[in-house]
Amino acid sequence: MRLTLAVLLAAQPAFGVSLWSSADGSRYWALDAALKWSALSSHAPDAPLLYPKRWSAAVLGRGRLALRGQAAADLHVRLAYEQRVRAVSTGAGAGGGVGILVPESRAPYRLRQLDAALATGDNAAYRHELDRAFVAWRLGSGELQIGRQAIGWGRGVLFGAVDIFAPFNPLESDREWRRGVDALRVSVPLADRFSLDAVAACGESVDESAFVGRLYGHSGALDGELLLGRRRGDRFVGTAASMRIRGAEMHGELASFKTPATEEGEVVLKALWGGSYAWDTQGGLLLVGEYHFSGFGVSDIAELAAAPYLARLIQGDAQILGRHAGAVQLSQGITGTLPRTLGWLFSPLDGSGVLTGAVTWIFSDALTLAASAYWP
């Protein structure tokens, strides 16, 4: 009963072309471009419901254009348009890159998806998407951002309790671009050590939207934040903090969700505790460990097919299938041209999990190759 996955990612990092600039450089327009190609091969366990065929393959190609500009002294504009081609082998099922490659599910908190198919086939799809489209306006010491933008909160490396907008899957191989959400965001500094964020992330209805306030502060080696609001039908309270202790870093998150009456009005908790330590040796060595609890996970495998759980999973509320998960990750050569990572995501209850490994070759500013493996 083995599952082995391998991912090859070839990327041409974003390179910028200046389109126009004023004489004093205070206003400009520039275009960035990036190309990525991923190939995945998997050998699945004998579970026909999830994996109709033991061997499967998937490929994903992405091309992205990003326009950035400063239209005035206090006004910035960002746009990002992406095209992607995905193909999977017949009968791949969950082995076709689910949880590993960029998902094809609908993005949360969008008035309109602006993500459509240009061409589709039985095992392939060619799509395009507007993933960024926002303006940022400086208002004195504060800032207003409106439009499709990326918002990520919390301290977690692989898991998250307060990252509520568009969280990554813990096993996702490419985390460079978080999916954009349609939002109005206001950031106001309250003092030298405190600031306030207010975010209205809009879905297709009020019941699919989020309205959250965030108070952030720091003092010396400690920083933290408090969050309060409503997202979809849940009332939400959360906190996150991190601290440096003798060269180590410790972080934690805690969130409480009061679900709607349609889900029996439960109070659901999510928590995260973790830490990291870095050594200035062998090109940089970083050790990260995290534990995650999610009340949205299932305690019995029979609940996986339940409609409420599937809805939460699709929305990104349940990053893990169960309720408990741990992770250990060791990275070497993080400051060089050949970084390597070894990780283990596991269940603290029975020790089952996934061993991951990745090697990245940075040939130049224009070409990067990464190989990843997941076992079992």
Per-residue pLDDT, 7: 61
Q: Which domains does the chain have, with CATH numbers?
A: 4-375 (2.40.160)
pLDDT > 90 fraction of the chain, expressed in percent and rounded = 61
The predicted model scores a pTM of 0.91
Which segment of 40-49, 116-125, 285-294 scores lowest on mean pLDDT? Answer: 40-49
Contacts of 227 (CB under 8 A, 6+ apart): 153, 162, 212, 213, 214, 215, 236, 237, 238, 239, 240, 255
Tell me: the pLDDT tens digits for 251-268? 999 999 998 866 666 899
Which segment of 8-12, 90-94, 237-241, 330-334 scores lowest on mean pLDDT? Answer: 8-12
1 pLDDT band, cuts 50/70/90, is very low
Class of residue 23 by CB neighbours under 10 A (exposed 0-12, middle 13-18, buried 19+): exposed
Question: Using an 8 Å Cβ cutoff, are 341 and 355 in contact?
Answer: no
How far is 375 from 356, CA to CA, in rounded Å? 6
Tell me: the pLDDT tens digits for 145-166? 999 999 999 999 999 999 999 9
